[in-house]
Each structure stands twice: as C-alpha cells, then as structure tokens.
Amino acid sequence: MALLKVKFDQKKRVKLAQGLWLMNWFSVLAGIIIFSLGLFLKIELRKRSDVMNNSESHFVPNSLIGMGVLSCVFNSLAGKICYDALDPAKYARWKRWLKPYLAICVLFNIVLFLVALCCFLLRGSLENTLGQGLKNGMKYYRDTDTPGRCFMKKTIDMLQIEFKCCGNNGFRDWFEIQWISNRYLDFSSKEVKDRIKSNVDGRYLVDGVPFSCCNPSSPRPCIQYQITNNSAHYSYDHQTEELNLWVRGCRAALLSYYSNLMNSMGVVTLLIWLFEVTITIGLRYLQTSLDRVSNPEEPESESEGWLLEKSVPETWKAFLESVKRLGKGNQVEAEGADAGQAPEAG
C-alpha cells in the first residue's frame, strides 16, 4: 500500500509544478545565503588563525560553502524540471532521470542536516583549539624581533582590546610566562638578576600584565604591574577590590563569540533544510503523479501521487534485499575473475 497517497487532476499538477518552480528559485537564494554564511565564518576564523592550534575549526565553514554551491546547482536543475513538467513532450526527456535525481536530493538533505548539527556540536573541539592556540600565542608575545613571530604581540593586544579579555583563562596566566623581551630588560639591575635566578627555567616572571588587559572604564589609573603587591599601591587590596583589568579570559570570550555565530548559522541552516525537504517531497509527488497518468495523450485525466510506493517497513526490506543482491553480484564477479586467472597461471 502506497504511503500518503494523494489524487491529482491536471489543475492540481500544474499548480504543484508552478509552486515547486517558484520554491526552487527561492531555494537557490537560500543556497547563496548558506554559501555567504560559510564564507563569513571562514573569514572570521582566518582573522584569528594565529591563536588557533589547527585547521579542524574550518570544517564547518568549508562544509557550508560546499553545501551552498550544491544547493544552487540542484535547485536550479529542479526548477528547470518543474518548468518542463508542464509540457508532456519536454517532461519525457527527464522522466528516466527523476528517480536518481530524487535519491541524490535525499542524500543532499541528509548531509545538509548533519552540517547543521555540526554547527551546534563543534564547541568542544573549538575550545581545545583556542586554548592551545592562545597558550602558544602568549608564549611568543615577547618575540618581537623573531621573524615569523614579530606580529604576535600586536595580534594578542588587539585581541584583548577587541574582546575585552585578558590571558587564556584569566589575567593570572600572564604571571606564568615571560612576556617581556630580554631586549628591554636591564641585566645590570639587581632586581632583574634576582628574579631570573629565582626561576628554575631562568625566566623573568612578574605579577603584571600587558597594557591591553586594562579596562578603560575603571575610574582608577590602570594597575598592570605588581598586581598582587598591596603595599606597592595606595589604598589597594587585590583580593577585595575589583581590579581595573579585564577579568574574563580570551578563550571564553572567543568561544562565546564563535559559538553564538555558529549557533545562529545552525538555526538558519536547519530552516533551509526544512525548506529543502519540503521541495523534495513536492518533487516526489509531482514525479509519481505524472508517471501514473493513465493516458499521456489525455493530460486532463486524474492520477495518484505518493511519497512511497509501499509502506515504510516494506520499503526498508526491499532496500536491504537490493543491497544484498548487489553484494552477491559483486562476489560472483570476483569469483569468476579468480577462476579465469587460475587456468592462465597453469
């Protein structure tokens, strides 16, 4: 028994074809939107690629770009099919290709749904990428004279100013690395010598942060050195007083920014996916109703259209049997090839 059977006369078939033609061209615009979203996300990730550890984060934008291009191609073709469906002579050229085309459309919708899910599920991978990338970027902050790393100081400073953040997880991350270049240290100073000697790795560590960690909204002049030394500043207690530094770490700030961006793109992609599924269902009804016209020379006659020719369990069973037959056919061909090679070897 056919699933979701609907009766169509000529008037209904014409309206269905015209409606699908219009919907397909709207879907071409939707494909352009998906492509634009992927391109925008890729550009945003490229801007901060210096503080990202690997290229895995580009999977989502690359997928969106690819699906946007495919959406434009498939829906342009579907629009042409729906236009030709109004003319029996033109439709005859497409008739044998419609089933494979619908199968490709179903596969496209499955992949599009998975891409939309990836927009929501890649937060963990992005968090690890940002954490390691920011850690490396902070480590190279002082290398302003090293080729290939001389830009890192500006990158980190601009990042902290733009996203109002400090360090990887917080401002205390700067206490654990030497972020001041040796070029700007006075090695004849007793303080500098004592600090370097007191460190196992011979690094100059201070309880200070770069200027880009300062919050300009604070009424007090920025305290960026000797942050944990209460006696170094008048009327100051770093444990009780709200510091005039950005408290949030840059990993959390960037993760929040990119997560909100990808969540919004995921919602848009899911809405477009629903639209694409609707078009695919409409195309299936159009194909089955046109194929079941009893007399092609009398286009005004009624016909039936359906989503599946059999019930869901029967369709699934038939699909599994066809897969098994295909596997057995490949096995027989392989055995025949082996049998043909045996006499030659003899």
pLDDT digits (tens, 9 = 90+) for 88-120: 777 777 777 888 888 899 999 999 999 999 999
From the number of C-beta atoms within 10 Å of its C-beta (0-12, 13-18, 19+), residue 250 rates as: buried
Domain ranges of the chain: 3-137+252-310, 171-247
Q: Can you state the angle between helices 59-84 and 250-291, rounded to 10 degrees?
A: 20
Residue 310's pLDDT is 62
Residue 346's pLDDT is 42
Residue 318's pLDDT is 61
Residue 149's pLDDT is 81
**Coil/strand/helix, residue 233:** coil
Sign of the Cα pseudo-torsion (166, 169, 171, 175, in order): negative
pTM, full prediction: 0.80
The one-digit pLDDT tens for each residue of the chain (346 residues) are 566 676 777 788 888 888 888 999 999 999 999 999 999 999 998 888 888 876 667 889 999 999 999 999 999 988 888 887 777 777 777 777 888 888 899 999 999 999 999 999 888 788 888 888 899 899 999 988 888 788 899 999 999 999 999 999 999 999 999 998 888 888 888 888 888 888 778 888 888 999 999 988 888 888 888 888 888 888 877 776 567 889 899 999 999 999 999 999 999 999 999 999 999 988 888 888 777 765 556 666 666 766 666 666 665 666 567 667 666 655 555 555 555 555 554 4
Sign of the Cα pseudo-torsion (285, 291, 293, 298, in order): positive
